[in-house]
Amino acid sequence: MTRNAPSEILRRWPGPLIATLAAIAATGLGTAAPATATTTVTHTTVTHTTASRASVTAAAAATQKHVYLRSALGNEPYVTTENGWSGSTGMHAKNVIRARAATPGPWEGYRIDYLGPSSGNAVHLWSDAAQAYVTAEFAWGTTSSGLDQRGTLHARPGQTSTGPWETFYLNQTGAHTFTLSVRDSGGKLWYVTAEQNYPGDEAGLLRARATKPGPWEQFTTGPGPQNLVGGDDYPAQWKSPAQDSFANVFGLNRECVSYVAWKIYENSGGTQVPGGRAAPSDWARYSVRVDPTSGSGAWSYAYNWGYAAASHHITVNHTPTPGSVAWWDRKGVWAAHGTGHVAYVTAVQKSGSAVTGFDIAEYNIEGRDGAYSTIHFTVSNGKLVRRAANTTPSGPMAGVDLSWVPIPDGFVHINGF
């Protein structure tokens, strides 16, 4: 299939992107300045710039963003979905929301769905642990001990639709802080509070109860959830047939793009396990279209992913983060067949704020029969100190020399990872 060259694609992109992406098309991402990087990985060096967390409202250009929510008070406790509680209503209901964790884990991951500027900065909050949207429970009353439960934030089990009580308004109050508010059935706006004075295991309960924001109503975010589903869990119905036996919206089976599209799907909240060759029915909610024969807007060959992402205002930079996509353009070792390559970043190692290494998982490295492999890149004192190391534990790629694999040309941050 004939594909447009990057320079041709750039002519159709919005004006602010053209200068940056023209440089990428001409020289490769390794020499273009990253848009929002905190730690920069280039072809030869890893350098650290001033650490920062991106403005949450700045992410509104993307449809979704995966984050850890945190209260901005004190040591900034992480916001937890109490998935281990068993009650059906009230403060001890299953999946009540509290700001209480010192470190993040599976119960602290959320997805922010941005509804766009025309909605007044409205968002929906999806709890990864509950697999449900967060609701402000305005129908709840007081406990027998007199604690007010009205407006408690709760990821109701099975709450997969949204209404007024699931629609929050996110407003930036500082460089890294914001408020969340929601309207009750009468249309009155209430700000979400982290209840610092509630006793025992009710401490930190999130409630929509304040009429104006103060210190208890300030929130911030941490990096996207690190509890990624890892390993070679590519669907069995796609893995068993020979490579390129069939295609679905994620592309040809056992190709790098198909594996990465699958990892994006399951780590962005998708839960369907394919029982056949078709992609999950809700793939469009969580992942990207790859196969150009399946419809418009396909990301297609791996080399095109960096350009396709930028055209959708998705961050492409030099900062590896767990859940991001490592991307190689069609040059160097991938120039011969012109397809490029993509892989999934499974882990990033740091010393303080400086990157010391990162790990990727992928399929079909340099056309090697659609097999799975893992690779580790090591950096030290700001420089690449070892070539790519094959860390594949077993299978046909175990022990194969992969030291020739270069540093990625960039990292694509789909769904905010």
Q: What is the pLDDT of residues 243-294, one digit of tens each?
A: 999 999 999 999 999 999 999 988 876 778 898 999 999 898 789 999 988 8
The whole-number pLDDT of residue 41 equals 45
Taking CA atoms, 319 is separated from 229, 313, 357, 365, 413, in Å, by 20, 16, 11, 22, 9
The whole-number pLDDT of residue 223 equals 55
The whole-number pLDDT of residue 414 equals 87
Report the distance separating Cα 285 and Cα 306, nearest Å: 20
pLDDT band at 49 (very low <50, low <70, confident <90, very high): very low
What average pLDDT does the chain have? 81
pLDDT band at 318 (very low <50, low <70, confident <90, very high): confident
More confident of the two residues 325 and 417? 325
The whole-number pLDDT of residue 324 equals 92
The whole-number pLDDT of residue 199 equals 93
For residue 384, pLDDT over 50 is answered with yes
Q: Give, as one character, the DSSP assignment of residue 257.
A: H
Report which secondary-structure segment, H or E, holds 194.
Answer: strand 189-195
More confident of the two residues 236 and 28? 236
Long-range pairs for 185-189: beta carbons < 8 A, 24 or more residues apart: 185/138
For residue 303, pLDDT over 70 is answered with yes
CB proximity list for 171: less than 8 A, separation 6 or greater: 57, 121, 178, 179, 181
Stretch 203-225: mean pLDDT: 89
